[in-house]
A and B are shown apart, each in its own frame.
Chain A
Amino acid sequence: MKDKIFKSLLFFAAALILILTAGIVYSLVIRSTDAFARFGFWQFVTSPEWDPRPESEHYGALSFIVGTLMTSVLALFFCIPFSFPVALFTGEYFKGKKVASLVGSVVNLLAGIPSIVYGLWGFYTLRPIIISLGLNEQGFGVLTASLVLAIMIIPYASSLTSEFLSMVPNDLKEGAYSLGATRLEVISRVSFPAAASGILASYILALGRALGETMAVTMLIGNTNNIPSSLIDTGNTMASVIANQFGEASGLKLSSLIAIGLLLFLITAVINSIAKLAMKRIKS
């Protein structure tokens, strides 16, 4: 009897996740219907116009979708030359050694720093550098945001990549060594190809992280409602426009912001699912 109750308790706790997810999707959809009904789903996604004036009220998400993709992809680009060497350091060159776990821990601690602290650091340390380089008068913009974003996602990319690199069977590598290959050749012709799909999945997951980052980006991107015309232009991401305008929004604007939230949810869900499914297939 007691066991039965306990077992159903376990089942109920697990089922709660299902209810939670369904509830999240339901609430987002219900609360964004106003915006989608008014502008049409496709219109909303493809219109770059964001005009809150009552007489010509019109909302579209394109500027923010483009801003999000630009910052995230750029951040992913910037993070590769740092995260990949760290992964090689911890998962290949010094695998299992003390120095590898030291470097790994320090880099992983980067994931513990709150987004808002990264934002402050970007604002007071990185922004003046951008200004002094003459890239941008105010120092805000896509470039500044994605540089900080790159630092934030390094630990996610490097720890998973390192895991996949260290999973490459030793026999393969030893075979190459015995044929006279140097370490670099073993890495580039054996380890990397063997782990390539896992590494790709790690970087997709890091991209998923970057898409949803809010505070640091909000503090650095400049918060203008336009499609960024270049890398040094200002803009807004989907997350930053919600963070900036949710507080004073109501009616159609609120619904539009929640619609952007729904789109952001869908994009990250798709990206994360692709990465997770790929990883599951590789690991089994």
Chain B
Amino acid sequence: MGYGVSKLRFRNWKNKAFYIFVCVMSGITMFPLFFIIWELIKKGYKQFNYSFFTEVAPTSMDAMLAKMSDSVIPGGVLNGITGSLLILGMAIVFAIPVGILAGIYLSEKKESRFAGIIRFLTDLVQGIPSIVVGIIAYAWVVKPMHGYSALAGSVALAIMMLPLVIRSTEETLNMLPVSLKEAGLALGASYTNVILKILLPSAFGGLFTGILLAVSRIMGETAPLMLTALGAAAVNWDWSKPTSSLPLLIWEFYNDPNLIDLIWSSSLLLLLLILTLNLIAKQVANKWKIQ
């Protein structure tokens, strides 16, 4: 009798202890996110002024002089912002049409052997380390063009984006009820019209969320751009010239002792942009949820 009660107590105690352990560890795991954001805000907010968004990155010399006279480092990250826009914009143009079409194909041919292979390869491409994607874009674009370029950077980012877009398109379309398609076909609409005018608009929310998340995922990529876009000191809108981007600027600042104070503000900006995209994606997903 006594044995049973003490054993029961021990089991209950263990159960509770484990519950507390799970809650505490989960709480601790939430820490790093806030810790990182806090660190960036604390060290970076001082640089957040008007010129941060309207001027290009300062030279090492300017920054050193400013530091010696104890004033705020002049200049900003305009060349990084415009470079990111250019590279991301081109990557979006390359990846999204192909990604959506391939996604439609996969959701239309659920059982086909070929679709199975494509699905497997899509996962494979998604798993390629970003630095290897950089090597590929180097071999495909930088080498033939005899120089680093925004185009090469955007090819690298497009390769990384493509599988994300394909998979989110396929998953969203798979969630649509079959009756939707059948109703369209029964009314005499052509296959093309059913897909373009019924299925895609109904899936808009999911597609848009997928694209936003894909963009937010590749926005902070640094390694592939080091091998392809290289970086530039001035604002550049020419797709065939070396171009900077926000993450590339952070890397540049990190490697220059005079500019190192700028890493915090530029990282803060990059992180804010990424988190905002994530939040918008979540809002869109909630609003356009497929019933």
Contact = CB atoms under 8 A, between A and B. Distances in A.
Q: Do A and B bind each other?
A: yes
Interface of A: 2-3, 6-7, 9-18, 20-21, 23-24, 27-28, 31, 81-83, 85-86, 88-90, 93, 103, 105-107, 109-110, 112-121, 124-125, 151, 154, 158, 182-185, 187, 208, 211-215, 218-219, 239, 242-243, 246-247, 257-258, 261, 264-265, 268-269, 272-273, 276
B101 A212 contact: no
15 contacts: A6-B191, A10-B102, A24-B125, A83-B29, A85-B29, A93-B23, A114-B271, A116-B247, A117-B270, A182-B12, A212-B128, A214-B222, A243-B226, A269-B124, A273-B123
Interface in B248-280: 250-251, 254, 263-264, 267, 270-271, 274-275, 278
For the complex, would chain B's binding face be called helix, strand, loop or mixed by DSSP majority?
Answer: helix
A267 to B, nearest CB: 9
A265 B132 contact: yes
Given A6-B191, A31-B139, 16 more contacts: A14-B105, A20-B125, A28-B132, A93-B23, A105-B282, A107-B33, A109-B275, A125-B35, A182-B14, A184-B15, A184-B19, A214-B223, A246-B135, A246-B226, A257-B135, A261-B135
Which secondary structure characterizes the binding site on chain A? helix
A115 B32 CA distance: 14
Interface of B: 11-12, 14-15, 18-19, 21-26, 28-30, 32-33, 35-36, 39-40, 97-99, 101-102, 104-106, 108, 114-115, 117-118, 120-125, 127-132, 134-136, 138-140, 159, 162, 166, 190-192, 195, 216-217, 219-223, 226-227, 247, 250-251, 254, 263-264, 267, 270-271, 274-275, 278, 282
A243 B32 contact: no
Contact of B251 (A24, A93, A116): A116
Contacts of B127: 208, 212, 268-269, 272
A113 B220 contact: yes
Contact of A21 (B125, B192, B217): B125
B29 A107 contact: yes
A184 B192 contact: no
A184 B14 CA distance: 8
Contacts of A106: 30, 33
Contacts of A182: 11-12, 14-15
A212 B135 CA distance: 13
A208 B29 CA distance: 21
Given A2-B190, A114-B274, A10 B129 contact: no
Contact of B190 (A3, A17, A107, A211): A3
